[in-house]
Chains A and B, each alone.
Chain A
Amino acid sequence: MQIYLPIAEMSVNVFLILGLGGGVGLMSGLFGVGGGFLMTPLLIFLGIPPAVAVGTEAAQIVASSVSGVLAHWRRGNVDIKMGLILTLGGFIGSFGGVELFKWLRGLGQVDLVIALCYVIFLGVVGGLMFIESIQSLVQSRRMTESGMPRKKLHQHTWIHGLPFKVRFRRSKLYISAVLPIGLGLLVGVLAAIMGVGGGFIMVPAMIYLLGMPTSVVVGTSLFQIIFVTANSTFLHATRNFTVDVVLALLLLLGGVIGAQIGAKMSVRLKGEQLRVLLALIVLLVCVKLGVDLVTTPTEMFTLGAGGKH
């Protein structure tokens, strides 16, 4: 059954999109990640214009983050103060990101920048995750040690010398507000350009850079992602006209069901094994995009949106 997407201006198979939403939803339920980093490249691969894929994915991430944050909220695993400060940075970042996106689109380089961002960030995050999860897999097999030797989180570095210190009770931290604002800003820019929530950068950064306790990290990350992606949805809709609600709703429908199945399946799998698997998927996407950039394309020419304005 075909359905015509009003903003993408093309017709797609309903079941293909539902299946795509379901498949990526399954992943996100299984691994606890947003899935934007998989969905956006897959949509582009299906022939959805990259700008529409990014804009629409932002709307879909709003939905999946709202859905995900509620469970964490109930358990009190959201540091609202930290979340709001991250959001402040994220807002500035997504403004900048959408403007940058619009500018790059005019130059005809937006596809390249999206692909490069993906290759770099997926490569780094996937690589680190892979090494780390293999290490812990080996470690857990070698001995039943009582927990990993904790890194010194409160080692005093230049980071603690920054001004505007704020106390975050829920995270048990007393750090400069500049740090979360800067982090939020960076992830906001990336989220707007890449069509992702940015959880895969935000979560490790919160743990290793800010030193937040892991229990509040996922909830707080989801909390701020809602606002930042809502902002980039709004900006993409008003500045680039690239949010397709029909596509977003179809992806959502599949995604919700997939996420629930994934969450049930994840209970039966081991944490380390899951992380190795996720790292491999991330690296696979990274390699695919990287190879595409380097290999000689069969078609050297592309049509730009010259007649749109």
Chain B
Amino acid sequence: MKPLFLALALVLATSLPAWAVEPLVADLSKHLVAITTGFAGTDVLLFGAVDGEGEVVVVVRGPPKAEIVRRKDRRVGIWINSGSATVESAPSFYRVASTRPLAEIAADSVLDRHQIGLNHLDLTVESQDSGATPVIYRDALVRLKQKKGLYGDTVQQIGFMSHRLFRTEIHFPANVPVGTYLVEVYLIQGGEVISAQTTPLVISKIGVGADVFDFAHQQAAAYGLIAIILAAAAGWLAAAAFKK
């Protein structure tokens, strides 16, 4: 990664004059993450350069999804799901990286407007449960997502090199949802966003695994039959192989 980064940095540095008007330039080491059979998570390098002063904040958002959060309660001695709340739209993946702690960079109103940071994420909770407030449900959703590694636990540190070049590695765990992600890079100066750039990142299943998934969902009957035939054949083979 290091030599690659240096090479990229060099390219950026030498071509900077041409972009002198652009206060912020950033790109990803790859724009497609392929989930193959051997996929066990991956890192994507984000690198870029700024022109002038400022702090850099990077936000990675996965495709939004509706979520149901369920709350357990004790009924006749056992713990049963007894309340639930829905969140109409929550990013399936969310991670923030910054050159300095968010609170020191910009006011809450600015962070809210751009939904930067877990506390500033717009998660509208619709609760049908009188046993817990929407805020508790919101916290639970964030906590559960963090436990799965889909939401960042902390704001990741972005490293600056020679005050102009920055880089950060974005980690995607093995259970990362597929879809089109948005990588947003903000340049913040004096508490205001003065430049922003959004780069899409596609996470997609590739190869046998993807084919199996598509087949199982589109041709469910055929898939079910094949699963049965495979299983029966495997059982018969096993019995034959170990007969004596």
A interface residues, Cβ below 8 angstroms from B: 1-7, 9-11, 59-60, 62-68, 70-71, 108-109, 111-112, 226, 230, 233-238, 241, 243, 245-246, 248-249, 252, 256, 259-260, 293-294, 296-297, 299-307
**Given A252-B231, A296-B79: A66 in contact with B239 (beta carbons within 8 A):** yes
Whether A6 touches B212, Cβ cut-off 8 Å, given contacts A67-B236, A297-B79, A303-B68, is yes
Give every chain A residue within 8 A of B236 (Cβ-Cβ): 66-67, 70
Q: List 16 A-B contacts (CB under 8 A).
A: A6-B205, A59-B230, A59-B231, A108-B81, A111-B81, A112-B81, A234-B221, A238-B224, A241-B217, A248-B230, A252-B231, A260-B242, A293-B78, A299-B143, A301-B71, A303-B70
B160 is an interface residue with CB less than 8 A from chain A? no
Contact with A along B1-26 (1 / 0, CB 8 A): 00000000000000000000000000
Q: Which residues of A contact B80 (CB under 8 A)?
A: 109, 112
CA distance A64 to B37 in the complex (A): 26
Min CB gap B216→A, angstroms: 6
Across-interface contacts of A297 in B (CB, < 8 A):
72, 79
Q: Indicate whether A248 sits within 8 Å of B231 (C-beta atoms), given known contacts A63-B238, A237-B220, A302-B81.
A: yes
Residues of B within 8 A of A (CB): 35-41, 65-74, 77-81, 84, 86-87, 92, 137, 140-141, 143-145, 147-148, 174-175, 205, 208-210, 212-213, 216-217, 220-221, 223-228, 230-232, 234-236, 238-239, 241-242
Residues in chain A near residue B39, CB distance under 8 A: 2, 4, 11
Q: How far is the CA of A246 from the CA of B79 in the complex (A)?
A: 33
The answer on a CB contact under 8 Å between A6 and B213 is: yes
Q: In the assembled complex, which residues on chain A have CB atoms less than 8 Å from the CB atom of B86?
A: 306
Nearest to A246 among chain B residues (CB) is: B212
Instruction: Give me 12 other A-B pairs in contact (C-beta within 8 A), A63-B235, A109-B81 excluded.
Output: A1-B38, A2-B38, A3-B38, A6-B205, A6-B213, A11-B40, A11-B175, A65-B235, A301-B137, A301-B140, A303-B67, A304-B69
Q: A248-B227, A293-B78 are in contact. Are A304 and B68 (CB under 8 A)?
A: yes
B216 in contact with A304 (CB, 8 Å): no
Q: Residue of A at shortest CB range from B89?
A: A307
Which listed residue, A256, A300, A303, touches B238 by the CB 8 Å rule? A256
- Name the B residues within 8 Å of A6 (CB-CB): 205, 208-210, 212-213, 216
Task: Name the residue in B87, B141, B210, B242 with the highest tally of chain A Cβ atoms < 10 Å from its Cβ.
Answer: B242
Decide: B174 and A11 in contact? CB cutoff 8 A: yes
Query: Which residues from A are CB-within-8-Å of B67?
Result: 303-304, 306-307
Query: What residues of A have a CB within 8 angstroms of the CB of B74 in the complex?
Result: 296
Chain A residues with Cβ below 8 Å from B87 are 306
Partner of B77 from the list A236, A294, A306 (CB cut-off 8 Å) is: A294
| A153 CB to nearest chain B CB (Å) | 32
In angstroms, how far is the closest chain B Cβ from the Cβ of A75? 13
Contact, CB under 8 Å: A249 / B37: no
Residues of B within 8 A of A71 (CB): 239
Q: Is the CB of B231 within 8 A of A233?
A: yes
- Interface contact B65-A233, CB-CB below 8 Å: no
A67 to chain B: closest CB distance in Å?
4
The residue of chain B having its C-beta at the shortest distance from the C-beta of A256 within the complex is: B238
How far is the CB of B69 from the nearest CB of chain A, in Å? Answer: 6
A68 neighbours in B (Cβ, 8 Å): 235, 239
Tell me if B65 and A307 are in contact (CB < 8 A).
Answer: yes
**Residues on the A chain within 8 Å of B35, using CB:** 4
Which B residues are in CB contact (< 8 Å) with A1? 38
CA distance A63 to B228 in the complex (A): 8
CB atoms of B232 and A245 under 8 A apart: no
Residue of B nearest to A240 (CB): B220
Identity of the chain B residue whose Cβ is nearest the Cβ of A300 in the assembled complex: B72
